[in-house]
Amino acid sequence: MRILIICNCSTGLESFRGMLIHELVKKGHVVKAIVPQSDEQKEINAESRLKKMRCDLKRVPMERRGMNPVKDLGLFHKYYKTVKKMKPDLVITYTIKPNIYGGMACCLLKIPYAVNITGLGTAFQNDGMLRKMVTIMYRAALRRAKIVFFENEENRNIMVDYKIIKKNKTYVLPGAGVDIEHFAYADYPIDDSEMKFLFIGRVMQEKGIDELFAAMRRLRAEGYKCSLTVLGGFEENYSEKMKNYAAEGWLHYEGYQEEIRPFIAKSHCFVLPSWHEGMANTNLESAAMGRPVVTSNIHGCLEAVEDGVTGFLCEKQNSDDLYQKMKRMCDFSYDERRTMGMAGRKRMEAVFDKRKVVEKTIEKMGV
């Protein structure tokens, strides 16, 4: 079978779908992918590794953020021409633009396709024209889909309630899962003279970065010896603020990192106070390595944490509640935090093992 994947970045395709590609190739399928045009070194590196996995790539220019009708119409046209030329037996799409414009192209070409809703994003956060427009477009894109995968129940229920897709054509996976061998358990750091918090994600308001900074400043003001390491590229301009916090001695900004495991291993607790997620992979990866997690009590985050057992859930957009949960983590003993981390590892093995996710994905797609 000729299988074509359409996605919005090569790094995400390799990191989150690499095991799926490996299994599809192992089963004898020919796998190709459409990825955005990019000159970023991290994307080029990911493309090289994907090719070694026997996944041929076709580059198509795409703006990942924002909606420009003229450019998006051009993207749809490119998808249509490329899919028509490749003649796949099945198309798999990930993220909003590939889902919508790739789905529409497959619908017109009458090619079977499976859609993955990895998150609803900002479009569904408010009752406005953008949500109405995206709802209409998703209805058109999903109407002939073979199956639509979701990463949490809430996202699935929203799309079913809006009559975008019928429930019997959906399936909820535990996110992309986590490779529990790659993200192996790491011994909890013995040195706890300073509580080391870690954040991995795009530096932007909707990831809860303002609440996190506010909580950290409050902890420091109260005399807690703690620091925060931030990994990830800037999506919004926080550079000046972060320089000031670095000068205060508690913030360590490391930028985007292809290899995050050493940072998780050195940390005492992972923190992600995001406003919305499909399924936050960084929560899963940190828990798999045996680190307690403090994250938002929202679907896409709460699934990764057993509150009070493997970490803490906090109210989204509430810096005071986040502070209280981070303070509790600081007040815990070494053994209490280590025990939380070990419980998180066991939860990842039981519920989020990527091998099980890949098996279920292949089963539901019928390949």
Chain-centre distance for alpha carbon 22: 20
Predicted confidence (pLDDT) per residue in 26-83, tens digit: 999 999 999 998 888 999 999 999 999 999 999 998 886 666 777 889 999 999 999 9
Sheet holding 195-200, edge to edge: 251-255, 226-231, 195-200, 269-272, 293-296, 311-314
Map tokens 């953008």 to a residue: 130
What's the pLDDT at 358?
97
CATH homologous superfamily of domain 2-177+353-365? Glycogen Phosphorylase B; (3.40.50.2000)
Q: Could you list the beta-strand ranges (E) of the chain.
A: 2-6, 30-36, 55-60, 90-94, 113-117, 147-150, 170-172, 195-200, 226-231, 251-255, 269-272, 293-296, 311-314
**Which residues, including other chains, have CB under 8 Å from residue 153's CB and lie 6 or more apart?**
172, 299
Tokens of 154: 């809430």
Cα 237 to Cα 203, 204, 255: the distances in Å are 8, 8, 13
Look at the alpha carbons of 312, 317, 322, 324 in this order and tell me if their dihedral is positive or negative: negative
Strand ranges of the sheet holding 30-36, from the earlier edge strand across to the other edge: 55-60, 30-36, 2-6, 90-94, 113-117, 147-150, 170-172
Where the chain has pLDDT below 50, the residues are: none
pLDDT of residue 66: 65
- Residue 313 has φ and ψ, to the nearest 5°, of -100, 140
Cα gap 313→273, rounded to integer Å: 9
- Which value, in Å, is the radius of gyration of the alpha carbons in the chain? 21
Give CA 285 to chain center in angstroms: 11
Q: Can you give the residue ranges of every domain in the chain?
A: 2-177+353-365, 195-351
The per-residue pLDDT for 191 is 80
> Scanning the structure block, which residue is given the tokens 């395709």?
13
CA dist., res. 336 & res. 345, Å (int):
15
Dihedral over Cα of 251, 195, 302, 98: its sign: positive
CA distance 253 to 335: 28
Query: What is the topology classification, in CATH, of domain 195-351?
Result: Rossmann fold (3.40.50)
Q: What is the pLDDT of residue 127?
A: 73
Residue 279: alpha-carbon gap to chain centroid: 6
Helices (H) and strands (E) in the chain, counts: 14, 13
For residue 294, give the nearest of 280, 281, 279, 310 by alpha carbon: 310
The bridge status of strand 90-94 relative to strand 311-314 is: unpaired
